[in-house]
Structure 1
Amino acid sequence: MRANGWTGSAPEGFDSATVRGELTIGEIEPAEYQGAADLHGGRSFLQLASWAEVKPDWSSDLLAWRDADGRVVGTTLVLFRRLPGLSRWYAYVPEGPDIDWADPWLERWLDPLLDHLERRGAFAVRIGPPAALRRWQATTLKAAAGRRRHVDHVLADVVEPAGSAASDRLRSLGWQRCGAGRLAIDAQPRYQFQVPIGGRDHDLLAGFGKEWQRNIRKAMKVGVRTRRGSEHDLATFHELLRQTELRNGFRLGRSLAYYQRQYRALNRDAPDRMRLYLSSWNGEVLAAHTMNVVGRRAWYQTGGSASHRREVRPSHILQWTMMRDAQKLGAERYDMRGVSGCLDPEDPAFGLLRWKLGTGGELVETVGEWERPLPGPMNLALHRAMLRYRDRPNSLDG
């Protein structure tokens, strides 16, 4: 085992391992893994056992941490990509692991993970702690918007002590923040927009901004209809996504087969885990969005809308429908996924954040992704070589 970095003194009669509570790690069966889904506030859909089926170019391990009594106290899905021609692997933990990130002794979780990955033949690993670092309310960011402004220029409404401590501890343990130095930027969004929906009774609409309220009422008045879709409707969804990409000048690069694979895998894992919603006007589908549900959290993953009849606001009423369903399912947070953090109204990147601000939610900066090579000259050399060519779109995309 690697050094744990603990420097405090144990109480008389106890050694440091007893004080910390040493943990072991090993593989876990999918059924037991699924049963441990809500140990630390809800795992990401990117940490579902079934997510490995969505990423056929990666191999995977399902792992669990156990305490001295053999109880599962943390879990993770690890994805592995093999270097061409070598039996060496790059390990990636998207939006995980699902452990206690408030633990002051993070090494008791991470050291066993690194030991396992080293035995597995990994030369480097990237993790994505889901812990929150800072939070900005929608009202704060609306007031702060301006030319060349960014969320980093705005005093956060909340600074999370646990997230700050986790960042400091990771740095002291030899992890490097992605986006720093030569490391590629985060593969998963560092800035996420989330809407707290637990405890808002049944009146979600009252928490929206006036523009959203007006657009939802307009959609209702002109007869926009929303419904749950099926796998058969994914082709319509994908075409609307393609139109949205062309209109807004971005490309996710995901095929229809990708979403079909995800829909089958996640819903085989648990019924209605991935949901498809569509809104129509005069019989024509104008918007289609996907939602994933795990434990106490729901995610709006991807959405597309037509380039015409936008004045009937099909996406606003669709999001309201999805949030209401998520609330009925017991979700406490509705995650609208990534935003750029740009607050410049003249920058096209601000448009997506501006749209999401209308829900009255909050922008959450997570601890973000961290990476490190495993010990050894060969691992360091392989990691340096990988850094020279890895900065390609969607290379790690979840």
Structure 2
Amino acid sequence: MSALLATARCGQQDAWLGPVSAETYRAFLASRTGSALGPGFLQCASWADVKVGWEARLLGWGPQDGAGPGELSGVALVLLRRFPGTRKYFAYLPEGPVADWSDPELDRWLNPLLRHLRAEGAFAVRIGPAPAYRRWNAAGLKMHTGAGRHVSDVLTCEVDPLGAAVAERLRARGWQRCGDDGEDNDAQPRYVFRVPLAGRTTDDLWSGLNQEWRRNIRRAHKSGVEVTVGGAADLPEFYRLLKITEERDGFRLGRSLTYYERQYAALNAEEPGRMKLYLARHQGEILAAHTMVTVGRRIWYQTGASADRRREVRPSHALQWKMMLDAHAQGAEVYDMCGVPSTLDPDVRSFGLLRWKLGTGGHVAETLGEWEKPLSGTTNQTLYRAFQMYMARR
């Protein structure tokens, strides 16, 4: 038995872990996308084709080698990045693994994963547990904005006991959360904004918007803003607007046009319509462009871009309203507007993004964020410290 297969067969009480085919992997994910709590798009098999410079592994937990999707209990897309000058890898499971986080015996399936990755040459592992932790509604947060204030300073309207339990279980096993404030630029955002759609009518969605949003949507429609779904040929225009937006709003995603073209091609090759590009035109000119990603009953507004010209006609508000209506019509249970900053200080520049999303009437959810752990061994510990220094300098 090879070293990799030897590590896949674990102790008597451990789950079996090993490579699975892309077909089996996709079938398992499809069986878990029936609710808003299904897997995120970063664990889709196609995401491996987006991440150039990383080696990908599709793994599954099951009763035995060759298990079918109905027999698996979990899967993981693992991205491996080689540490320069070595044969060692940093292992990354974005928003994964897709496993049973309610299991109080995490070691039963987590240990086989760590053993497998160690045998692959990984010196450290980063994971993104699925459970949420806390939630705040928009109205409550708007009442508590102020100098130096943060989302965590406000009394929550909901705490998920599973999220709290998973965090404690991970800490007890030596895992460390990435970024103390939840805004580590190298990790997925810990705070996200979500608009619930399940059980709501379009009238409910409209009444959930604040007065400013409703007024701006009406203004866009009255001004003649037209919203359409574009295609791959429109990505260069989206990217041009994105660079304008980054310069104006003071952030940098660090992604190229090729990245978005690759993402669009990979996600839509896996499932047609998985990634869409929405365009807002006024007098024939594209003034805003936003991307949307769909996996089962979860829909994400991923990236938005807009021009500096004619902002008074509110093209982005028209885009978001159309995207929200389309998500509702598709039967999505949640419209995820992705990451937001944790600040509630109006004088902090990044607060503007949170303020804009609060107008939709959704809620801020604190996820468990991402967690890292160096694997045992002196060499791995040394490489992990060097890796942390490298990331801090970058």
The TM-score, its normalising length taken from structure 1, stands at 0.90
- The alpha carbon displacement at 1:330 in A equals 2.0
Distance 1:39 1:297 in 2: 11
Matched residue of 1:372: which SS? strand
Cα 1:186–1:366 shift into 2, 3 Å = farther
TM-aligned CA distance change 1:349 to 1:264, over 3 Å:
same
Q: In the TM superposition, what are the counterparts of 1:224-373 in structure 2 within 5 Å?
A: 224-373=225-374
Aligned equivalent of 1:101: 101
SS class of match (1:390): helix
Report SS of the residue matched to 1:26: strand
Question: Counterpart in 1 of 2:4?
Answer: none
Deviation at 1:392, TM superposition (A): 5.2
- The answer on whether the counterparts of 1:177 and 1:371 sit within 8 Å (CA) in structure 2 is yes
**Candidates 19, 23, 32, aligned match of 1:31:** 23
2:14–2:112 CA contact under 8 A, matched in 1: no
Between Structure 1 and Structure 2, how many residues are aligned?
374
1:61 to 27, 50, 57: 57
Counterpart in the other structure of 1:42: 38
Aligned positions of 1:124-273 closer than 5 A: 124-180=124-180, 187-203=187-203, 204-273=205-274
- What is the CA deviation profile of residues 345-377 of structure 1, one whole-angstrom value per residue up to 9, with x for unaligned ones? 111111000000000000010011111111111
CA distance in 1, matches of 2:370, 2:185: 8
Give the CA RMSD over aligned residues: 1.8
In structure 2, the residue matched to 1:8 is none
Is the contact between residue 102 and residue 163 of structure 1 (CA under 8 Å) also seen in structure 2?
no
Structure 1 282/180 Cα, relative in aligned 2: closer, same or farther at 3 Å?
closer
Structure 1 residue identity aligned to 2:278: Y
Identity of aligned residues (%): 55
Aligned counterparts of 1:283 and 1:98: Cα–Cα separation in 2:
44
Q: Scaled by the length of structure 2, what TM-score is found?
A: 0.91
Mind listing any 5+ residue stretches in structure 1 that lack a counterpart?
Answer: 1-16, 394-398
Q: Deviations over 1:208-243 (max 9, x none)?
A: 111111111111111110000000000110011111
- What is the CA-CA distance between 1:185 and the residue it aligns to? 6.2
Runs of 5+ unmatched residues, structure 2: 1-10
In 2: Cα distance, 1:285 partner to 1:193 partner:
26
The secondary structure found in structure 1 opposite 2:202 is: coil
Structure 1 pair 275–211 and aligned structure 2 pair: CA distance change class (3 A): same
Once residues 161 and 229 of structure 1 are traced to their aligned partners in structure 2, the CA distance between those partners, rounded to angstroms, is 42
